Structure 1
Amino acid sequence: MSSTELPSVPPTSVLPKSVPVRVAEGERLRSVGLPGVTLTVRSRPPAREGLQPALFVHGLGGSSQNWSALMAMLDGDVASEAVDLPGFGDSPPPDDGNYSITGHARAVIRYLEASGRGPVHLFGNSLGGAVTTRVAAVRPDLVRTLTLVSPALPELRVQRTAVPTGLLGVPGVAALFSRFTREWTAEQRVRGVLALCYGDPGRVSEEAFRYAVEELERRLRLPYFWDAMTRSARGILNAYTLGGQHGLWRQAERVLAPTLLIYGGRDQLVGFRMAQRAARAFRDCRLLTLPEAGHVAMMEYPETVATAVRELLADAADTADAADTTNSTGAAGAAGTAATRS
């Protein structure tokens, strides 16, 4: 695994073309070379030694920056890193062009294996929620806990507001949409995304809006922008139709890690009604519903989400300590019995 640190830019500065992305105070970016893929990783220095590692995975069209607010609030609880999935943020496309859920999950697994940070507290939003569900199901050794914010798990009755996003995965639609919207400004596009993803777009500060516009302008210049979007959207659609052991709901049932599910009442992309189905699917889970939140609760209500995450971590630690105590007691008892018999 090769790693190269990328230059950071203060949040209030203007982005020159030579600098890929900005980072919040206390963050750093580095580029990590792995077999078949190169990932950009956003991290925060641990507040103290001994903190358990956490890894955050963003949704369709997002980036690791979507987790910055929550990562900052968890500084004293975990050692945080967030990845840009292949083709998103500042990560280049994968060598094999595979943007399926399995392809993205494979990239996350390769990073965890190469970095040696696992098992981690794993977080996923939307597309990232589907990806991390698959990771937790197929590689339980890499996951301590799982936190899913509006995970993109299959729905039989998709909301009408989510249909346009799903259609991006249909061949030819993205090119048609690109031609139809070529006169749209970056500001118009960002306002549309915020209206779709936030329960209350008014919660976005003017500074954050300006940054989002700058970032979208940068990413629209990338030759693979629409390809990454459309192929990843197609990957979600394909995962929705996949049955058997590889189906996402079946894999959710296989997740062993303690799981926190977070759903927003104003989510226009993932149906709020799916919260109860998800709560039944994951065997060891707790559910947090936020009636005023949209699709990105960790960005709208980071304080509330951080509180729920801390409770998950504390309970998971207590359970692990109890298991260690039971194992130690059992081992001591077995040793005593063996000594008596001898």
Structure 2
Amino acid sequence: MVLLHGGGADARAWTPVLERFDGRWRVHAVNLPGHGGEPGFDYDAGVITATARRVADRLLDLGLVYPHVVGHSMGGAVALELAGLTPVAGVTALCPIGFWTRPRAWTTAAVLRNAARLSAFVGPATRSRLLADPVMRRLALAAFSAKPSLIRPQVAVAAASALASSDIVTMTKFTRRYRFRGQVPCPVQFAWAAKDRLVPPADAVRARRLLPRALHAFVPGSGHLVMDDDPDLTASIVGNHALRLLCADAVDP
């Protein structure tokens, strides 16, 4: 199983889900280009597909063949595009971008860009001090989480630091224009957060139209950060799709 984080995050975003897997799956959580210390590239309108190509190369380097690819937000879009570039067993896309309306895409890009700039501007010491305060933490995470009071200070600081050090400010100039228009030649499981303010669950309507055979699940009471807001249900959705893929592989002649 390969885990792809969202734009502005890093591989640590998967920690709550990994804790609930409890070693049941062989998992590789990778950092996308321009995130988590990984070098970026010259971003343009094809940024999602170009990122998917680089992930495909990374999978080859790791010796991973026919993996179940799980992606969140931008990582969900990358996972879907990746499936069109290299054989994968299946895709689980959590709150993926690319099925949105133009106004929503531009609003989400602005939220990410402003949050990244502010986080970088205040610096590490101020970030830690501000996010230690419950009220400030709730305000800072309101656009991303429906349950910000449940997110621990150290988790919020790590997320803010990842955002500040990422290439998301540049990438959003292009990701906001991205629309998924391809085909996915493998089983797909979508999951949408009921209280997502960045990628609304209404995007499932267009996803169903484009990929009519895909499965859909909804995470009630959760904001965009489903791994933090409801790690139990998120891990269950991912794990159940992984089990279906294993069963399908076992009966495939």
TM-score > 0.5, shorter chain as reference: yes
* Equivalent position to 1:90, from 26, 29, 37: 37
Q: How far, CA to CA, are the matches of 2:162 and 2:210 in structure 1?
A: 39
Please name the residue that 1:131 is paired with: 78
- 2:197 counterpart of 1:197: no
Q: CA contact under 8 A between 1:197 and 1:295: conserved in structure 2?
A: yes
How do 1:27-176 and structure 2 match up within 5 A? 54-91=1-38, 93-94=39-40, 96-98=41-43, 100-139=47-86, 141=87, 143-156=88-101, 158-159=103-104, 163-167=106-110
Equivalent in the alignment of 1:261? 190
Structure (1 or 2) with the greater helix fraction: 2
Looking at structure 2, the residues matched to 203 and 296 of structure 1 have their Cα atoms a distance apart, in angstroms, of: 12
TM-score normalised by the chain length of structure 2: 0.83
Pick aligned residue for 2:168 from 199, 218, 229: 229
Distance apart, 1:164 and its partner CA: 4.4
Tell me if structure 1 keeps the 8 A contact 2:35–2:162: no
Per-residue CA deviations over 1:162-190 (Å, capped at 9, x if unaligned) read 64442379xxx86xx948x9469423686
Structure 1 or 2, whichever has the larger Rg, is 1
1:206-265 deviation per Cα after TM superposition (whole angstroms, max 9, x unaligned): xx3234326635874x5xx4xx1122212312323xxxxxxx2x21xx212211111011
What letter corresponds to residue 225 of structure 2 in structure 1? Answer: V
For structure 2, the residue ranges without an aligned partner over 5 or more in a row are none
Tell me which protein shows more strand as a share of its residues: 1
**Contact 2:4/2:32 (8 A) holds in 1:** yes
Q: Distance in 2 between matches of 1:197 and 1:183?
A: 19
CA gap of 1:230–1:178, structure 2 versus 1, over 3 A, is closer
Q: Indicate whether 1:295 and 2:239 are aligned.
A: no
Give deviations 1:277-296, integer Å, cap 9, x for gaps.
21332243211112201112
Counterparts of 1:217 and 1:78, CA distance in 2: 28
Say if 1:178 and 1:318 are closer, same or farther in 2 by CA, change over 3 A: closer
Give the distance between the partners of 1:168 and 1:267, measured in 2 at CA: 13
In 1, the alpha carbon distance for the partners of 2:170 and 2:107 equals: 15
Counterparts of 1:112 and 1:166, CA distance in 2: 28
Identity of aligned residues (%): 24
Residue of structure 2 in register with 1:320 after alignment: 249
Structure 1: 5+ residue stretches without partners: 1-53, 241-247, 325-342
Match of 1:212 in 2: 156
Task: Give the whole-Å Cα distance in 1 for the aligned partners of 2:155 and 2:96.
Answer: 25
3-state secondary structure, aligned to 1:255: coil
Confirm or deny: 8 A CA contact 1:168 1:233 kept in the other structure: no
SS at match of 1:238: coil
1:219/1:284 Cα in 2 relative to 1: closer, same or farther (>3 Å)?
Answer: closer
Distance change >3 Å, CA 295–CA 211, structure 1 → 2:
closer
C-alpha deviation, 1:125, in angstroms: 0.6
Question: Could you tell me the TM-score, scaled by structure 1's length?
Answer: 0.63
8 Å CA contact 1:149, 1:261 repeated in 2: yes
